[in-house]
Structure 1
Amino acid sequence: MGRIFISAAHGGREAGGIDPGSIAGGTTEAREMILLRDLIVTELRSRSFEVLAVPDDLSAAGTIAWINSRVRRGDVALETHADAASSPTVRGASVYYIASNNERKSNGELLLVGLLRRVPQLPNRGVKPDTDSGLGSLAFCRQVVIPSLLLQVGFISNPEDRALLQNRRRDFALGIADGLASWSRVIDPTPGTPQDPNYPPINININGQNYAEQGILVNGNAYIPIDLVDRLRIDLSKAPNVNRITYRKVVYIKAIELRDFNVAVGWDAATRTVILRSNLIVCPGQFDRIMSNGNTSEVELQLFLRNNNENALNQFPDLPKLYREEATMEGVNYDIAFCQMCLETGFLRFGGDIKPQQNNFAGLGSIGGGAEAASFPSARIGVRAHIQHLKAYASLEPLVNEVVDPRFRFVTRGVAPLLEQLSGRWSADLDYGTKIIAMIKRLYDSAGFFNANRV
Structure 2
Amino acid sequence: MGRVFISAGHGGYENGQIDPGITAGGTTEAQEMILLRDRVMSELQARKVTVLSVPDDLSQQQTIDWINSRARSDDVAVELHTNAALNPEAKGTTVYYITNNAERRQEAERLLRALLQRVPQLTNRGARPDAVTGTGSLLFCRAVTVPSLYVEVGFLTNPEDRYLIQNRRDEIATGLADGLLSWVNRSPEKPPDTIVYPQINIRVNGHEYGEPGIAVNGNSYIPIAIADSFGVDLTQASFVRRIYYRNIVYVKAVDLREFNIAVGWDNQSRAVTLRSVLPICKGQIDRIMGIGNTTDVQLLVFLKKDNPQAATQFPDIATLYREEASIEGVNYDIAFSQMCLETDYLRFGKGVSAAQNNFAGLGDAAGSAGGASFSSARIGVRAHVQHLKAYASTEPLVQEIVDPRFRFLTRGIAPLVGQLSGRWSSDITYGDRIMAILRQLYESAGLL
For 2:351, the equivalent position in structure 1 comes to: 353
Structure 1's 73 and 283: CA in aligned 2 closer, same or farther, altered over 3 A?
A: closer
For 1:73, the equivalent position in structure 2 comes to: 73
Deviation at 1:127, TM superposition (A): 1.6
- Partners of 1:404 and 1:448 in 2: CA distance: 35
Residues 299-332 of structure 1, C-alpha deviations (whole Å, 9 max, x = no match): 2212222322233223222111110110011111
- Asked if the contact 2:288–2:392 (Cα under 8 Å) also holds between the matched residues in 1, the reply is yes
TM-score relative to the length of structure 2: 0.94
Residue identity matched to 1:100: N
Structure 1's 69 and 249: CA in aligned 2 closer, same or farther, altered over 3 A?
A: farther
- Partners of 2:355 and 2:305 in 1: CA distance: 23
Task: Determine which of 197, 200, 206 is the counterpart of 2:198.
Answer: 200
Deviation at 1:183, TM superposition (A): 2.3
TM-score relative to the length of structure 1: 0.93
For 1:293, the equivalent position in structure 2 comes to: 291
Residue identity matched to 1:366: D
Residues 376-427 of structure 1, C-alpha deviations (whole Å, 9 max, x = no match): 2221111111111111222222221112222223323323222122222222
Residue identity matched to 1:96: Y
- Partners of 1:413 and 1:357 in 2: CA distance: 29
For 1:155, the equivalent position in structure 2 comes to: 155
For 2:400, the equivalent position in structure 1 comes to: 402
1:270 match: secondary structure: coil
- Asked if the contact 2:74–2:190 (Cα under 8 Å) also holds between the matched residues in 1, the reply is no
Residue identity matched to 1:185: N
Structure 1's 231 and 284: CA in aligned 2 closer, same or farther, altered over 3 A?
A: closer
- Asked if the contact 1:330–1:387 (Cα under 8 Å) also holds between the matched residues in 2, the reply is yes
- Partners of 2:350 and 2:231 in 1: CA distance: 44
Deviation at 1:151, TM superposition (A): 0.4
Residues 284-303 of structure 1, C-alpha deviations (whole Å, 9 max, x = no match): 34222212222222222122
Deviation at 1:39, TM superposition (A): 1.0
For 2:266, the equivalent position in structure 1 comes to: 268
1:246 match: secondary structure: strand
Moved more, 397-406 or 243-252: 243-252
Residue identity matched to 1:195: P
2:352 aligned with 1:362: no
Structure 1's 280 and 56: CA in aligned 2 closer, same or farther, altered over 3 A?
A: farther
2:280 match: secondary structure: coil
- Asked if the contact 1:73–1:195 (Cα under 8 Å) also holds between the matched residues in 2, the reply is no
Residues 232-278 of structure 1, C-alpha deviations (whole Å, 9 max, x = no match): 33211111121112334433211111111222111110110111123
- Asked if the contact 1:281–1:449 (Cα under 8 Å) also holds between the matched residues in 2, the reply is no
- Asked if the contact 1:263–1:280 (Cα under 8 Å) also holds between the matched residues in 2, the reply is no
Structure 1's 146 and 275: CA in aligned 2 closer, same or farther, altered over 3 A?
A: same
Residues 80-130 of structure 1, C-alpha deviations (whole Å, 9 max, x = no match): 112222333322221111112222122111111222222222222222111
Structure 2 unaligned regions, length at least 5: none
2:74 match: secondary structure: coil
Structure 1's 283 and 114: CA in aligned 2 closer, same or farther, altered over 3 A?
A: closer
For 1:453, the equivalent position in structure 2 comes to: none
Residue identity matched to 2:23: I
2:25 aligned with 1:28: no
- Partners of 2:224 and 2:422 in 1: CA distance: 37
For 2:239, the equivalent position in structure 1 comes to: 241
For 2:410, the equivalent position in structure 1 comes to: 412
For 1:309, the equivalent position in structure 2 comes to: 307
Residue identity matched to 1:239: A
Deviation at 1:283, TM superposition (A): 5.5
Q: CA RMSD in A?
A: 1.9
Deviation at 1:352, TM superposition (A): 4.9
2:48 aligned with 1:48: yes
Question: What is the identity percentage for the equivalent residue pairs of Structure 1 and Structure 2?
Answer: 61
- Partners of 1:229 and 1:402 in 2: CA distance: 46
Moved more, 156-165 or 128-137: 156-165
* Deviating 4+ runs (over 4 angstroms): none
- Partners of 2:119 and 2:365 in 1: CA distance: 45
Moved more, 15-24 or 135-144: 15-24
- Asked if the contact 2:253–2:263 (Cα under 8 Å) also holds between the matched residues in 1, the reply is yes
Structure 1 unaligned regions, length at least 5: 451-455
Residue identity matched to 1:114: A
Task: Determine which of 315, 327, 350 is the counterpart of 2:325.
Answer: 327
Matched pairs, number? 447
1:365 match: secondary structure: coil
For 1:4, the equivalent position in structure 2 comes to: 4
- Asked if the contact 1:280–1:449 (Cα under 8 Å) also holds between the matched residues in 2, the reply is no
